[in-house]
Structures are given as C-alpha cells and as structure tokens.
C-alpha cells in the first residue's frame, strides 16, 4: 500500500521541463514514479492534470485517485471539495487506508464540516491507534464541532501513547492541542516533557514559563480563559514547530503511515 504525503518537500527546486516529463495526453502509460516527480516539485497543477488523466484511463487505480486527492487538497491547489471527492474514490477502493481517512477529514474541516471530519479522523484513529497525528486531528475536529469534552477525552487517551513513543515532537504537539482548549495543567505537563527530552528547544521552554506564570495567578483571574497566555506555538490542523521531526508538520498523513 502506498502512503499519501501532504507536507511540502523541503527546499526549492525548479519545475521539471516538459521535454523531460511528457504531458499525460501523449503518455502511453502512467506510473507512481512519474506522479512523484510532480509531488517533489510541488507542481500541484501538473500533478492534478496528470492524475486526472490517469483516473480516466484507469478508473480503479488507487494511486491515481490518491495523487489526485493530494494535488487538490488544502496543501496543494486548495480545492478541498474536489479533494474530498477524490478521497472518497480512494476509500471506495481501499476502506482500510488510514491516511486517506485522515486526508478526507482535513479537507472536510476546510469546508467547515466538523461532524464529517470527526467521523473521518475517528476511522483513521481506529485503523492506526498508535498514530498521534490522527488523535490530535480528531481532537481538533471535536473542538471545531464545539464538543470540548470529547476533544479533551481524545487528548487524554493520547497521553499513554506519548509516554510510550518518548518523542519530544509528540509531546509538543500534544501541549499545543491542550493549550488550544485552555487546559493549562495538561498543556504544562506536555511542554515540560518536551523540554526534558529536548532542553535546547526554546519554544517549549517559553511555553512552560508562560503557563507556570499563568497557573500562579489566583483562580478567579483564570476563569473563562480570558487571561490564558498567548503562546508562541499554537495547535492548528497542519501543525508547525515540532522539534527536530518534520513528520509532525502534516496532519493529513505521511512519515510511514
């Protein structure tokens, strides 16, 4: 099974010329290797054109629909509605594809469909229960839906996984997720774990200091969250800033999923 990769490839590389990569209309065959060149160059329009022709030539090809979904996604051409349609084709062909469920959820959130995103991320989390991305994204979908209790419960279920993985990036993203829900004690714990594993990671140290100061304030001053500190690294569906691990830049998929 192929993986779906969403995050931008590091560095800037010029687009491949048509002399090297023929247009889909003239190509006699399609391949994932050819599609990967478009992905590596971040030529999302080229990938969409190629993958569209591929799906027309081979309507049951999982790679073709996966590439089309990536090209049209929020990290590609930012056409989430079209990406959702492509992901549904992927899942019709392979219902157990966890990364495709996560990609579906990401794009459903982009068109303000948090209930559908909850369902998609829940599928991804059930299929890959040791993947922290999917739990964080599920919590974010619950938050967008307004179900804060379920969001917190989801993050609480991730804590034992973070302890087993012993990865500062996992703890840092978990801290960002808790801070987005104004759960200061759990956010502080997660940032402290990050700092213990990566003492040189300044954002974690700053967030620990800010939250410790916040927790020292009298309880009435902390009620309602109006005084919750504005932290330098906040949780979003495409998380940034995780220390030393670019796998945690993308919520949709990737890094061995």
Q: Does residue 160 share a domain with residue 75?
A: no
Q: Does residue 179 share a domain with residue 119?
A: yes
pLDDT at residue 229 in the model: 78
Q: Does residue 158 share a domain with residue 196?
A: yes
Question: Which CATH number is 204's domain given?
Answer: 1.25.40.10
Q: Does residue 229 share a domain with residue 145?
A: yes
Residues ≥6 apart with Cβ < 8 Å to 1: 94, 97
Determine which of 25-39, 61-75, 128-142 has the lowest per-residue pLDDT on average.
Answer: 25-39
Q: Classify residue 217 by its DSSP letter.
A: S
In the chain, beta strands by DSSP E: none
Q: Does residue 247 share a domain with residue 185?
A: yes
How far is it, in rounded angstroms, from Cα 213 to Cα 216?
Answer: 5
Q: How confident is the model at residue 27 (pLDDT cuts 50, 70, 90)?
A: very low
Question: Which CATH number is 91's domain given?
Answer: 1.25.40
Q: In the predicted model, is pLDDT for residue 28 greater than 80? A: no
Q: Does residue 116 share a domain with residue 212?
A: yes
How far is it, in rounded angstroms, from Cα 234 to Cα 17?
Answer: 39
Domain count, the chain: 2
Q: Does residue 218 share a domain with residue 120?
A: yes
State whether residue 6 is helix, strand or coil.
Answer: coil
Q: Is the dihedral of CA 230, 231, 233, 236 positive or negative?
A: negative
* Domain housing 178: 112-257
Q: What is the arithmetic mean of pLDDT over 84-113?
A: 96
pTM for the whole structure: 0.78
Helix-then-strand count for the chain, H and E: 12, 0
Q: How confident is the model at residue 202 (pLDDT cuts 50, 70, 90)?
A: confident
Q: How confident is the model at residue 156 (pLDDT cuts 50, 70, 90)?
A: very high
State whether residue 77 is helix, strand or coil.
Answer: coil
Q: What angle do CA 220, 225, 230 make, to 5 degrees?
A: 125
Residue that terminates a domain, selected from 95, 127, 153: 95
Q: What angle do CA 130, 95, 53 make, to 5 degrees?
A: 115
Specify the higher pLDDT residue, 194 or 251: 194
Q: How confident is the model at residue 13 (pLDDT cuts 50, 70, 90)?
A: very low
Q: Does residue 130 share a domain with residue 67?
A: no
Residue 169's nearest CA partner among 251, 66, 51 is 251
Q: What is the arithmetic mean of pLDDT over 73-100?
A: 96
Q: Does residue 247 share a domain with residue 140?
A: yes
Q: Does residue 84 share a domain with residue 208?
A: no
pLDDT at residue 234 in the model: 46
**Structural domain contains residue 103:** no
Q: How confident is the model at residue 2 (pLDDT cuts 50, 70, 90)?
A: low
Q: Does residue 231 share a domain with residue 130?
A: yes
Q: Does residue 211 share a domain with residue 145?
A: yes
């Amino acid at each position: 099974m192929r993986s779906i990769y969403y995050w931008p490839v590091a560095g800037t590389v010029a687009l491949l010329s048509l002399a090297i990569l023929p247009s889909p209309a003239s190509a006699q065959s399609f391949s994932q290797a050819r599609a990967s060149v478009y992905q590596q160059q971040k030529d999302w329009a080229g990938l969409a054109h190629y993958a569209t022709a591929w799906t027309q030539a081979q309507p049951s090809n999982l790679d073709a629909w996966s590439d089309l979904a990536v090209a049209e996604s929020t990290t590609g051409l930012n056409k989430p509605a079209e990406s959702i349609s492509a992901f549904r084709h992927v899942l019709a062909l392979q219902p157990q594809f966890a990364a495709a469920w996560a990609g579906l959820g990401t794009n459903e959130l982009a068109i303000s469909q948090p209930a559908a995103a909850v369902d998609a991320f829940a599928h991804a989390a059930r299929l890959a229960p040791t993947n922290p991305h999917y739990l964080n994204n599920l919590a974010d979908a619950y938050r967008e839906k307004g179900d804060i209790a379920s969001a917190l419960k989801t993050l609480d279920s991730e804590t034992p996984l973070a302890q087993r993985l012993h990865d500062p990036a996992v703890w840092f993203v978990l801290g960002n997720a808790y801070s987005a829900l104004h759960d200061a004690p759990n956010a502080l714990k997660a940032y402290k774990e990050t700092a213990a594993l990566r003492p040189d990671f300044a954002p974690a140290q700053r967030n620990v200091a800010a939250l410790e100061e916040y927790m020292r304030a009298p309880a009435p001053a902390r009620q309602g969250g109006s005084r919750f500190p504005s932290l330098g690294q906040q949780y979003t569906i495409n998380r940034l800033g995780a220390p030393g691990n670019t796998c945690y830049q993308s919520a949709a998929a990737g890094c061995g999923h």
